[in-house]
Amino acid sequence: MKTTKYENGFTLIELLLALVITGIIASAVATLGYAMNSAGVATDDTSRKQAQVRFATLKISDLIRHCKLVCYASKEELAVWAEDKDNNNIINLGEVTYIEAGTAYDHLQLYTFTGSTPINLGVIKALSTNWWSTYGIRNLPIPLIPLPVPPKPPQCSKVEFYLDDPNSPPNSKIVSITFDLLENRVTSKYQINAALRARAANLLGASGNIVSDDD
């Protein structure tokens, strides 16, 4: 018996079937790869933002717990007497810290200052008024939840400050900060709460200004 050279090869139907199966497998692998890459990007984005929230929570909570007084509050910022570095019961600019969200309420950052001239509690106003320039200089901001970088949309929004005594900040004992955070295209709401454990209430006079140490 004679055999032809085509006897051990593939027929056209077999080749077409093999191509179809190969195409299906390749498409499935590509789809799986894309899904895994998207999941990885989403996980990285969520992890990064969760780390920012944890850092912001720890930093702000520690600042509020150890601060002496809330000096000023508005819709976009909060100023506190962070510590009495020289232990003289008098505020100077180098002891003031602002928690700032901006007029768009789309970030959280801290501002500190350099200066040792004593200041009255009543002169501490909005950061934008530059009241501090008379007493020293402003340092670079410390970002907690960073400003948006165009053209990317803001990842943080609706930052709001709450005090238990909003009409008289020096008397406030509790601070709350709420904000929305965009994580993997889903908006989540967060809240940071802290109480002033080192509050220098004994230094406040009837007028609301620091007068003396009653102790």
DSSP string, 50-66: HHHHHHHHHHHHHHHHH
Least confident of 81-90, 112-121, 144-153, 190-199: 144-153
CA separation for the pair 108, 132 (Å, rounded): 20
The pLDDT of residue 9 is 62
Q: What is the pLDDT of residue 213?
A: 44
Half-sphere exposure (Cβ direction) of 96: Cα atoms closer than 13 Å: 34
Residues 93 and 114: beta-carbon distance below 8 Å: yes
- Decide: 160 and 183 in contact? Cβ < 8 Å: no
d(C-alpha 19, C-alpha 170), whole Å: 77
Return the closest-CA partner of residue 168 out of 209, 127, 113, 126: 209
Tens-place pLDDT, residues 51-76: 889 999 999 999 999 999 999 999 99
- CA end-to-end span of the chain: 119
Q: Is the peptide bond before 141 cis (omega within 30 degrees of 0)?
A: no
Whole-angstrom CA distances from 16 to 20, 27, 36, 180, 214 are: 6, 16, 30, 54, 94
pTM of the full structure: 0.77
pLDDT, average across residues 148-155: 75
pLDDT in tens, 9-39: 667 777 777 777 877 887 777 776 665 655 4
